[in-house]
């Protein structure tokens, strides 16, 4: 008897679910994937309209259509679609600066029994031919450059690093490029020495870290002269991260290397007034087996530091330096960083933190 009752109940539930499904909206797309094939980047946007039918028995409402990235801009039928009627989801793909194969999805959510459908567009964008403006987007007068930031990235001490920067003469006259205010450790050589109209060239840069009396990230501004004249915005930025190279250290050298240890690497001043200046003493010790050298201490805006009592520490020796924070009109919670550069191969660049909440 119990088995008969359960069978009847299951059958009744099945009928109820079936009836509910039949009375719901249902979305049916003619196709769920479209391949645009190959097309050129400079052809502009391409689009495809995915057509669907409401195959249910209730009005169909599309709640949202979301593309997998900003390069696809979908639109769709926003009014209720009655049973048997058609609607659409329109996918627009912008190929600009997106050469190569693409495979993008569009998620459609509705009140249908099949409430979430994923559509897909694919294709291959053939890259357009780059123009002079694309290759040399920056300008100094009529001299075009691939960039005005000449970055040497990492330069190890006792080495000279070379790199090149592409340039182009977009004028109708010969162009002699020279430089002013270059530091002694930086050599910039234009090739050719004189650029003819429409001619491509490059600047050879040589960064001599042996002559740099500094460490870590270093930037310089160098003025560019064209035919001995200085156009507007005629400055290029030179940057390099000057570091010590520990990669060739032997296990024995690492074992006998210096080691810096701070008693604490952060300090919280708590609440301070806007005109209040606060200080903290960071203490450290050389727990290694050879001399520890403090190469440089630098801090972010709002924080200043005082040179340590000792910058060279024998094994076992300790030292300290003072960090001073001045609100300078800032409000709310402030966090400032202090970087300590040393000859410790395991910790050559340590970040210390100070923070405070500035109140009225």
> Tens digit of pLDDT for each residue in 199-253?
999 999 999 999 998 999 999 999 999 999 988 889 999 999 999 999 999 999 9
pLDDT for 71 equals 74
Q: Are 169 and 201 members of one domain?
A: yes
- What pLDDT was estimated at residue 23? 77
100 in the same domain as 176: no
Give the mean pLDDT of 62-91.
Answer: 92
Q: Which of 126, 154, 179 is the last residue of a domain?
A: 126
CA distance 93 to 114: 26
Average pLDDT over the chain, rounded to whole? 91
**What pLDDT is attached to residue 3?**
53
Domain count, the chain: 3
Range of the domain at 293: 251-359
pLDDT of residue 9: 43
Let me know whether 140 and 122 are in one domain.
Answer: no
pLDDT band at 6; cut points 50, 70, 90: very low
Which pLDDT score is estimated for 275?
Answer: 86
> What is each CA distance from 197 to 49, 143, 229, 295, 308, in whole angstroms?
49, 10, 17, 48, 56
As a whole number, mean pLDDT of residues 37-41 equals 95
> Does the pLDDT of residue 21 top 70, yes or no?
no
Instruction: State the first-to-last Cα distance of the chain, in angstroms, to the nearest integer.
Output: 80
pLDDT at 216: 93
Looking at the structure, tell me whether residues 177 and 277 fall in a common domain.
no
Helices and strands (DSSP H and E) totals, the chain: 3, 27
Rounded percentage of the chain residues whose pLDDT exceeds 90 = 81
Query: Has residue 3 been placed in a domain?
Result: no
Same domain? For 239 and 136 the reply is yes
Are residues 197 and 273 both part of a single domain?
no
Could you tell me if residue 8 is inside a domain? no
Q: Which of 273, 277, 257, 287 is closest to 326 using CA atoms?
A: 277
Identify whether residues 176 and 208 lie together within a single domain.
yes
pTM of the predicted model over 0.75: no
pLDDT at residue 228, rounded to an integer: 94
Per-residue pLDDT at 330: 85
Is the separation of the CB atoms in 106 and 32 below 8 Å? Answer: no
Q: Are residues 56 and 38 in the same domain?
A: yes
pLDDT at 17 over 50: no
CATH code where residue 302 lies: 2.60.40.10
Evaluate whether residue 223 is within a structural domain. Answer: yes
Q: Is residue 4 part of a domain?
A: no
CB atoms within 10 A of CB 148: 16
318 assigned to some structural domain: yes
CA–centroid distance for 216 within its chain: 21
Q: What is the pLDDT of residues 259-276, one digit of tens each?
A: 999 999 999 999 998 888
């Amino acid at each position: 008897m119990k088995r008969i009752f359960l069978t009847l109940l299951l059958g009744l539930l099945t009928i109820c679910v079936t009836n509910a499904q039949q009375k719901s909206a249902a979305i049916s797309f003619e196709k769920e994937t479209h391949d645009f094939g190959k097309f050129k980047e400079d052809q502009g946007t391409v689009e495809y309209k995915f057509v669907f039918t409401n195959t249910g028995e209730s009005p169909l409402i599309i709640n949202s259509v979301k593309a997998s990235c900003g390069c696809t801009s979908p639109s769709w039928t926003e009014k209720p679609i009655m049973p048997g009627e058609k609607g659409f989801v329109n996918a627009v793909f912008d190929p600009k600066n997106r050469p190569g194969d693409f495979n993008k999805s569009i998620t459609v959510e509705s009140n249908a029994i099949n409430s979430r459908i994923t559509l897909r567009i694919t294709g291959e964008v053939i890259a357009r031919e780059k123009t002079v403006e694309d290759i040399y987007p920056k300008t100094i007068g009529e001299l075009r450059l691939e960039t005005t930031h000449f970055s040497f990235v990492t330069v190890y001490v006792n080495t000279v690093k070379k790199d090149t920067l592409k340039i182009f003469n977009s004028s109708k006259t010969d162009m002699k490029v020279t430089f002013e205010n270059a530091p002694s450790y930086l050599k910039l050589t234009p090739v050719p020495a004189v650029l003819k109209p429409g001619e491509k060239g490059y600047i050879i840069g040589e960064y001599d870290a042996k002559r740099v009396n500094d460490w870590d990230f270093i930037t310089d501004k160098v003025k560019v002269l064209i035919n001995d004249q200085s156009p507007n915005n005629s400055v290029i930025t030179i940057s390099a991260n000057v570091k010590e190279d520990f990669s060739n250290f032997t296990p024995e050298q690492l074992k006998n290397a210096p080691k810096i240890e701070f008693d604490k690497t952060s300090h919280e001043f708590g609440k301070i007034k806007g005109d209040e200046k606060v200080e903290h003493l960071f203490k450290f010790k050389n727990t290694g087996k050879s001399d520890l050298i403090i190469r440089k201490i630098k801090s972010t805006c709002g924080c200043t530091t005082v040179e340590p009592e000792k910058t060279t520490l024998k094994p076992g020796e300790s030292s300290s330096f003072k960090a001073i924070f001045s609100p300078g009109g800032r409000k709310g919670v402030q966090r400032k960083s202090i970087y300590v550069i040393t000859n410790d191969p395991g910790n050559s660049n340590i970040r210390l933190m100070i923070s405070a909440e500035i109140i009225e």
